[in-house]
Amino acid sequence: MDEATLERLREESGLCIDEEGRFLHRGEPITHRRTLEVLWGSLERAPDGRYLVRVGRESAWVGIADAPYAVRGATGDPPRLTLSDGTEEPLRPETLRLGRDGVLRCLVKGDHRARFGRGAQVALGLAMEEDRTSPSGFALRLSGGLVPVGAE
């Protein structure tokens, strides 16, 4: 198969990650546990900023509705995040941003965007307070003090 045909097939994979951080295929959620493990484990960002999954010699582009990862849980002080791929990592508070849509986002796994799900946003929101000096108007209260929340 020529490279142009392969690229067209990659583009038409039907794979995407929705705003809730779910892998979909042609609009239907993928629910098979092992398939999800393979997809999350092979997700990578291309040099042009797009995301793809690569399994063996095969690859496919993945449409991203908002962010490649979703934050499904946030607990503790400092907050520990549970991500859509099943991993956990500490929140880097300096990367936390409040979007114009009222949704929190941060960077995870280095410099990949993550969108907070409702439950995680409510959980972290309990540790936030208004702060007129912060770019977003809010700050995150941690045991070390207040951390301004950025604005997107």
Which residue matches tokens 């690569």?
A: 54
Contact call for residues 149 and 128 (beta carbons, < 8 A): yes
Average pLDDT over residues 33-61: 95
Give tens-digit pLDDT for 104-146: 999 999 999 999 999 999 999 999 999 999 999 999 999 989 9
The pTM (predicted TM-score) of the whole model is 0.91
144 and 76 part of one domain: yes
113 and 129 part of one domain: yes
50 and 12 part of one domain: yes
116 and 91 part of one domain: yes
- The per-residue pLDDT for 29 is 97
74 and 147 part of one domain: yes
Residue ending a domain, choose from 12, 38, 64 = 64
Domain that holds residue 132: 69-151
Which residue matches tokens 């409040």?
A: 98
For 23-32, the CB contacts below 8 A with 24+ separation are 23/62
- The per-residue pLDDT for 119 is 96
95 and 26 part of one domain: no
76 and 50 part of one domain: no
The total number of structural domains that make up the chain: 2
- Distance (Å, whole) CA 80 – CA 75: 5
Binning pLDDT at 50, 70 and 90, where does residue 3 land?
confident
Average pLDDT over residues 93-110: 97
Instruction: Please state, rounded to an integer, the average pLDDT across all residues of the chain.
Output: 94
